[in-house]
Amino acid sequence: MRIDKFLNSVNITKRRSVAQDMISNGVVEINGVVAKASKNVEVGSVVTINYLNESKKYEVLQIPTTKSTPKSLQGQYIKELS
């Protein structure tokens, strides 16, 4: 699954366009490498989002099969590392 779709699908971002803007500005990394919107996410990958005053890391546990997932099931797909 593409990183922009993944961020939206697991409710890290509210809209896919927000995820695309974050990626184009270089604040999203996959396994320590700045991601492009077409980059695929795999189980076990570490996604880092560098906000202005903090960074958050998420480990990918599972790839969602649907376009959106309920926020209550977010823990099945990602685990926050920091």
Q: CA 11, 17, 18, 24 torsion: positive or negative?
A: positive
pLDDT in tens, 19-77: 999 999 999 999 999 999 889 999 999 999 999 999 999 999 999 988 888 989 999 99
Exposure string for 40-79, b = 16+ CB within 10 A, e = fewer: ebeeebebbbbeeeeeeebebeebbeeeebeeeebeebbe
Domains of the chain: 3-80 (3.10.290.10)
The position carrying tokens 């920091």 is 82
8: helix, strand or coil = helix
pTM: 0.89
